[in-house]
Amino acid sequence: MVEQGGGASGAGCMGCPLRQRGEWCVLNEEETRFLSRHLKKRRYRAGETIFSAGEPSHGVYCVASGTAAIRKGDAEGNTVLLRLAYPGDTLGYRGLLLGENRRYGAEALGPSKICFVDRAVVKLLLERNPTLGQQFLRRIASDMDEAHDHLVRNATLSNRDKFVHLLQSLMNRHGRTATDGSRFMELPLSRRDLASMIGARHETLSRIIGRLEEDGIARFSGRTVYVARSHSLFNAIRPPTLLD
């Protein structure tokens, strides 16, 4: 199951999306080869756990293909889906930096390939190439921004508007354009998970979806979502008390 470096493409990290998008893009050819030799690439099936909250952090994970979900729970056993990770994203750097156990879990949402980089390898590369550290800094800083935006949205928007916003960002990632110019996508998440992302119960989300269909904002069929025009999702954020 575990491949050493090579990967299915046969070119190791050289052909990996991480090479372009992730923080590793600052590595030179030699360093990339080193990374290539020492990472462990592994296939995950849908729903498979990548790592779990509470366990020690031995390294970081990089999404090569597929989608991963970051889950975090509180003391009462409630669980929340914090965010999704896509190819090029690096997971689990926090535990590594702080030397703490993982505070959240990650799982593959669909068939995915994910690389594991041992902390020793990260450390070596960080020493050889200080730019890598800067990349990580930038990455975390940008994650912070995202988290803060998330906090503000959660504090100010209604569940409906939060869901519309979630649909927008999912559409950006997963959306395709049909021949008639309308947009559609295959949702990577169950309703329960969608609900947990906006901090609502799944029953509430069902009703929100119903209302969106009534209002002609979007059409839902299983995990497929259709939107008339991508704009209509934007407009949907302020639909009430506009026409009276």
Partner DNA sequence: CTCAAAATTTGACCATCGTCAATTGATCCG
Partner DNA sequence: CGGATCAATTGACGATGGTCAAATTTTGAG
Contact set with DNA (CB under 7 A):
46, 158-160, 190-192, 199-210, 220, 222-223, 240
List C-alpha distances in Å: 2 to 27, 95, 152, 225: 23, 23, 41, 35
- Residue 72: contacted member of a second copy, DNA, none (CB under 5 to 8 Å, by partner type): a second copy
Q: Which is nearer to a second copy, 64 or 85 (CB)?
A: 85
Nearest to 92, CA basis, from 43, 53, 38, 135 = 53
- Residue 147: contacted member of a second copy, DNA, none (CB under 5 to 8 Å, by partner type): a second copy
What does the alpha-carbon distance between residue 219 and residue 208 come to, in Å, rounded to a whole number?
12
Q: Which is nearer to DNA, 6 or 47 (CB)?
A: 47
How many Cα atoms occupy the beta-carbon half-sphere of 15 within 13 Å?
Answer: 8
What does the alpha-carbon distance between residue 38 and residue 4 come to, in Å, rounded to a whole number?
7
Q: Which is nearer to a second copy, 37 or 138 (CB)?
A: 138
Q: How far is the CB of 18 from a second copy (least distance, A)?
A: 20
**Token pair of 164, please?**
């519309």
Q: How far is the CB of 215 from DNA (least distance, A)?
A: 11
Q: Which is nearer to a second copy, 38 or 150 (CB)?
A: 150
